[in-house]
């Protein structure tokens, strides 16, 4: 395998190992609630086992070694030798974290440093103590030895090593796997006594395909590991190879059965086994003679169990594993791993396609050729379809991000001596992957904040007549073209007096400044305002709510807070579904073009501007006052030539409405969002730009900011007064 490919496989391994770690963590957390649940325990064990198995393939020995001990502990839990306790669960969680750190080191292609190794050893020691000083790992085979001796009735024992017989499937090489790497890995589990390459599978010259795999191997391995570990070495090709493993001291009869199960000529393989000392020549000859008499051959599994070579449990385990492989195969058929850059390139190209399509449509319109226009309209419909499907490719459910918080809430609550339950809903809600990646940190801050400052200590809660256990909820849902994430707690709510005092102390507001509840709440997003007096490990690290707001706004989103004294606080993050392309509504004002997201448009009404072009602050829309924003005034555009009809586009965001006063309406427009340069960063109410079919630039209006401006009647340009 070339270096490139190995690196790619390694990346895939690390990604998958992280997923397994998440499963491990989720399982351990679930066990804390229900220690008897065997399903979860199995899931945790499988996760650890898979990490160990695949780490071995990449020769990440430290991970293999550490995970092996964790797996041993889990196995004791599984077998019921050891009961699951919260303390043990917490220890195992930390062990999982340690594996994560080891993976980090592996990502950087570094050997773990001494401190990390030491931490790992400390954890293992602790684990050993928690398990009541477990004896050093004993190979499973040795443990079952006396029993087997008895059963075999004193017959002569076979050789002292494992015999592994493997035939690789045709497609193994093409699937990027090299049988050599599996054998090399076996070499790390113990000593390879003998490797015999079975070449009988090589076809006639005419049928030979240089990229197919035809080889098989008969391997003798001297190793203290158990059968699972050896089988685990072949996990990556489990459904693409035929594997027989005979444990040490297997009887001659078992080797003979193996012979029968193999596709090659009995004599040839028999010779191999005789040569490696698994069978004596006499045994081989007798066996082959007898074999001819035995009809028909029962499944190999039965033979092995009948001869006590394998415990029935082992066979069950093998069957379960096969089922698992099948499941995984089904899952891999449903999902396809695609490199993120490929997707991004596709989206970029679709973006250009949308712009080019708009240019074609414009030209068609200009030429007033009906056939051309029709063709252009079909084209734009198809382009819209492609755009939607392309964007859909990048959509991922937010659940994965949410699940991580189970652990954080648990740990942080423990640390603070609080009892908190986390309720997650809307995890199936989808949003753009690039948004998901960037929303983790702000969410983390809000969650920690809620636990640290929001939810009161148990005594206070009881005194206030609340249940001792605090309640935190994470919720996600779609709302008019954007995604809303809510972080809510049932704590004490924001302490408005304290915020006010702090804000005055910091010079954010003057002492006589009156603010309504909403305005006060907004203050917590101001830089330099922390209401917490105590600097705990969790907060007071200089990262405040202002950073949360900035992060969210950099995603073209907004964050707001609703607080009820004594009853709790809800932070609501509103995010665009995608960062790339939207359905827009094109507007014109004084010759400039603007785009608003179509999803936010409620309706369009005509505005009667009898009063010489000055637009009124409010419009009476069906007996409701609608605040108006005149784009010409807002952006200081030159007055358009001549009196004309103005239109009001009614937009809605977060339950609030506003009217945008413009000169012209151009209708729907597929908008490829291009970010604005840093020069425009202080501009509020503009979130980006786009290129029209004609090559002109149109600005995209940030509806959330605009609605806010309409309510506050603030100018769009930053004020020059000292902040």
Partner 1 sequence: MIELHRNGQRLAIAGELTIYHAAEVHAALVPLYAETELDIDLSGVSEFDTSGVQVLLLAKREMAQAGHALRLSGHSQAVLDVFALLELGGLFGDPQLLPAGGAPA
Please tell me whether residue 202 binds partner 1 under the rule CB under 8 A.
yes
| Interface mask toward partner 1 for 116-155; x: CB under 8 A | ----------------------------------------
Kindly tell me which of 83 and 180 has the beta carbon lying closer to partner 1: 180
Residue 207 contacts partner 1 per CB under 8 A: no
The residue from 133, 211, 293, 459 that contacts partner 1 (CB under 8 A) is 211
Residues whose CB is less than 8 angstroms from the CB of residue 28 and which lie 6 or more positions away in sequence, other chains included: 44, 89, 92, 93, 96
- Shortest Cβ 217–partner 1 spacing (Å): 7
- Under the binding rule (CB under 8 A), the answer on residue 199 touching partner 1 is yes
State which of residues 128, 195, 372, 621 lies at the interface with partner 1 (CB under 8 A): 195
Using rule CB under 8 A, residue 274 touches partner 1: no
196 forms part of the interface with partner 1 (CB under 8 A): yes
Stretch that binds partner 1, among 14-22, 196-204, 586-594, 598-606 (CB under 8 A): 196-204
Q: Is 26 among the residues that bind partner 1 (CB under 8 A)?
A: no
- Residue 180 in contact with partner 1, rule: CB under 8 A: yes
14 vs 50: CA distance, rounded Å: 12
378 lines the binding site for partner 1 (CB under 8 A): no
Block residue for tokens 């006499």? 282
Per CB under 8 A, does 194 bind partner 1?
yes
Residue choice 13, 58, 185, 217 for contact with partner 1 (CB under 8 A): 217
Identify the residue among 11, 197, 286, 712 touching partner 1 (CB under 8 A).
197
**270 within 8 A of 171, measured Cβ to Cβ:** no
Question: Using CA atoms, how far apart are residues 136 and 72, in angstroms rounded to an integer?
Answer: 10
- Tell me if 2 contacts partner 1 by CB under 8 A: yes
Strands of 328-417 (E only): list them: 395-397
194 vs 308 by CB, closer to partner 1: 194
Smallest CA-to-CA distance from 588 within 429, 433, 698 is with: 698
Q: Contacting partner 1 (CB under 8 A), which of 30, 31, 60, 183?
A: 183
* Least distance between partner 1 and beta carbon 400 (Å): 35
Q: Are 716 and 684 in contact (CB under 8 A)?
A: yes
Q: Which of 108, 114, 115, 205 binds partner 1 (CB under 8 A)?
A: 205
Distance CA 349, CA 198 (A): 51
CB within 8 Å of 445: residues ≥ 6 apart = 543, 545, 547, 548
Q: Which of 705, 453, 412 is nearest to 557 (CA)?
A: 705
Q: Where would I find the H helices in 219-339?
A: 227-233, 252-261, 266-276, 281-293, 300-306, 312-334
Which residues, at least 6 apart from 223, have a Cβ–Cβ distance to it below 8 Å? 161, 162, 186, 189, 190, 191, 230
Neighbours of 644 (CB within 10 A): 11
Among 35, 187, 190, 640, binds partner 1 (CB under 8 A): 187
Q: Does 213 bind partner 1 (CB under 8 A)?
A: yes
| Size of residue set near partner 1 by CB under 8 A | 27
The footprint of partner 1 on residues 318-377 (CB under 8 A) is none
The backbone torsions φ and ψ at residue 77, rounded to the nearest 5 degrees and listed phi first, read: -65, -45
Q: Exposure of 77 by Cβ count < 10 A (0-12 exposed, 13-18 middle, 19+ buried)? A: buried
Q: Is 615 among the residues that bind partner 1 (CB under 8 A)?
A: no
Residue with tokens 């740990």: 411
**Applying CB under 8 A, which of residues 99, 123, 192, 523 lies at the interface with partner 1?**
192
- Stretch near partner 1 under the rule CB under 8 A, chosen from 172-180, 345-353, 522-530, 582-590: 172-180
Phi, psi of 484 (to 5 degrees): -115, 130
Q: Is 607 in the site for partner 1 (CB under 8 A)?
A: no
Segment contacting partner 1 by CB under 8 A, of 52-60, 201-209, 258-266, 695-703: 201-209
Helices and strands in the chain: count of H runs, count of E runs? 24, 21
> Min. distance of Cβ 448 from partner 1 in angstroms?
50
The contact set with partner 1 (CB under 8 A) reads 1-2, 168, 173-174, 178-180, 183-184, 187, 192, 194-197, 199, 202, 205, 208-211, 213-215, 217
């Amino acid at each position: 395998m070339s270096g490139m490919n190995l690196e790619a496989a390694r990346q895939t391994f690390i990604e998958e190992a992280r997923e397994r770690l998440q499963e491990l963590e989720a399982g351990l957390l679930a066990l804390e609630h229900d220690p008897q649940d065997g399903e979860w325990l199995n899931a945790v064990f499988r996760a650890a086992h898979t990490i160990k198995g695949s780490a071995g393939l990449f020769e990440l020995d430290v991970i293999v070694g550490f995970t092996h001990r964790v797996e041993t502990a889990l196995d004791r839990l599984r077998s019921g030798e050891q009961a699951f306790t919260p303390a043990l669960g917490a220890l195992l969680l930390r062990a999982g974290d340690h594996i994560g750190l080891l993976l980090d080191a592996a990502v950087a292609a570094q050997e773990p440093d001494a401190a990390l190794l030491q931490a790992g050893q400390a954890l293992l020691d602790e684990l050993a103590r928690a398990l009541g000083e477990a004896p050093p790992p004993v190979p499973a085979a040795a443990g079952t030895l006396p029993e087997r001796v008895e059963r075999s009735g004193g017959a002569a024992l076979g050789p002292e090593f494992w015999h592994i017989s493997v035939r690789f499937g045709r497609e193994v090489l093409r699937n990027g796997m090299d049988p050599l790497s599996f054998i090399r890995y076996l070499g790390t589990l113990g000593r390879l006594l003998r490797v015999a390459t079975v070449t009988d599978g090589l076809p006639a010259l005419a049928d030979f395909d240089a990229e197919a795999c035809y080889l098989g191997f008969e391997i003798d391995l001297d190793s203290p590991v158990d059968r699972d570990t050896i089988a685990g070495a072949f996990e990556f090709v489990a459904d693409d190879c035929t594997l027989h493993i005979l444990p040490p001291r297997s009887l001659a009869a078992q080797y003979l059965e193996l012979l029968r199960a193999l596709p090659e000529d009995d004599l040839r393989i028999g010779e191999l086994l005789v040569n490696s000392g698994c069978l004596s020549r006499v045994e081989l000859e007798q066996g082959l003679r007898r074999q001819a008499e035995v009809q028909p051959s029962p499944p190999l599994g039965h033979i092995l169990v009948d001869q006590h070579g394998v415990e029935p449990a082992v066979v069950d385990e093998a069957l379960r594993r096969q089922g698992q492989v099948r499941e995984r195969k089904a899952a891999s058929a449903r999902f396809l791993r695609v490199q993120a850059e490929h997707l991004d390139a596709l989206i970029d190209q679709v973006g250009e396609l949308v712009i080019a399509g708009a240019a074609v449509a414009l030209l068609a319109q200009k030429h007033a050729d009906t056939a051309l226009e029709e063709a252009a309209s079909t084209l734009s419909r198809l382009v819209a379809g492609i755009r939607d499907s392309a964007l859909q490719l990048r959509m991922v459910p937010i659940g994965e991000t949410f699940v991580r918080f189970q652990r954080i809430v648990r740990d942080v609550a423990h640390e603070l001596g609080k009892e908190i339950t986390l309720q997650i809903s809307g995890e199936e809600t989808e949003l753009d992957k690039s948004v998901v990646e960037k929303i983790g940190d702000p969410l983390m801050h809000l969650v920690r904040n809620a636990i640290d400052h929001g939810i009161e200590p148990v005594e206070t809660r009881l005194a206030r007549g609340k249940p001792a256990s605090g309640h935190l909820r994470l919720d996600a849902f779609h709302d008019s073209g954007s995604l809303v994430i809510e972080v809510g707690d049932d704590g004490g709510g924001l302490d408005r007096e304290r915020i006010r005092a702090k804000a005055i102390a910091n010079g954010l507001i003057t002492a006589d400044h009156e603010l309504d509840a909403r305005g006060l709440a907004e203050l917590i997003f101001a830089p330099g305002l922390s209401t917490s007096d105590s600097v705990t490990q969790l907060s007071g690290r200089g990262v405040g709510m202002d950073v949360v707001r900035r992060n969210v706004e950099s995603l073209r989103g907004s964050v707001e807070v609703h607080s009820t004294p004594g009853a709790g606080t809800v932070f609501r993050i509103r995010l665009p579904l995608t960062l790339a392309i939207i359905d827009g509504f094109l507007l014109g004002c004084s010759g400039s073009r603007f785009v608003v997201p179509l999803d936010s448009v409620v309706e369009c009404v005509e505005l009667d501007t009898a009063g010489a072009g000055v637009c009124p602050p409010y419009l009476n829309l069906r007996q409701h006052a609608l605040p108006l924003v005149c784009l010409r005034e807002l952006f200081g555009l030159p007055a358009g030539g001549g009196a004309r009809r103005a239109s009001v586009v009614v937009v809605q965001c977060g339950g609030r409405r506003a009217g945008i006063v413009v000169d012209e309406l151009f209708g729907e427009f597929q908008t490829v969002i291009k970010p604005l340069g840093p020069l425009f960063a202080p501009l509020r109410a503009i979130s980006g730009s786009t290129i029209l079919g004609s090559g002109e630039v149109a600005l995209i209006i940030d509806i959330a900011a605009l609605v806010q401006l309409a309510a506050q009647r603030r100018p769009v340009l930053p004020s020059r007064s000292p902040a």
